[in-house]
Amino acid sequence: MIVRILGEGQFQVAEDVAPKLTALDAELDAAVHKSDDAAFRAALGAAVRLVRESGTAVPADTFVTADFILPFSDATIDEVRKLLADGAIGGDSVGLP
């Protein structure tokens, strides 16, 4: 599967990492809902490390979309909320009209 870490690009990650990543994703989601800063940072940090360490960077000439996108490694809960609120990624930032 392909995982993007915002600010760091895409990684090809083996399928057997998926359960671990999914578990961390659930923790991340719970932390955002509870506004639990410490849990959020722990889950995000663990997920980012997992992808960096188990994945390999997708080459520049391979154009694929990611199955999962992780926030910036130093993102805050507020930033993630903004990102999840639809329309937070302005048309301009995707380079589209």
Q: Are strands 56-57 and 68-70 parallel, antiparallel or unpaired?
A: unpaired
* Residue 50 contacts other proteins per CB under 8 A: no
Strand partners, 9: 5
> What H or E segment, with its residue span, contains residue 25?
helix 18-34
- Residue reference for tokens 């995707």: 94
* Residue 63 contacts other proteins per CB under 8 A: yes
Tally of CB atoms within 10 A around 54? 16
Among 14, 49, 64, 78, indicate the residue that binds other proteins (CB under 8 A).
64
* Residue 97 contacts other proteins per CB under 8 A: yes
* Residue 70 contacts other proteins per CB under 8 A: yes
Shortest spacing between CB 5 and other proteins, in angstroms: 9
Distance CA 2, CA 14 (A): 9
User: Which residues form the interface with other proteins (CB under 8 A)?
Assistant: 3-4, 6-10, 21-22, 25-26, 28-29, 32, 47, 60-72, 79-80, 83-84, 86, 88-97
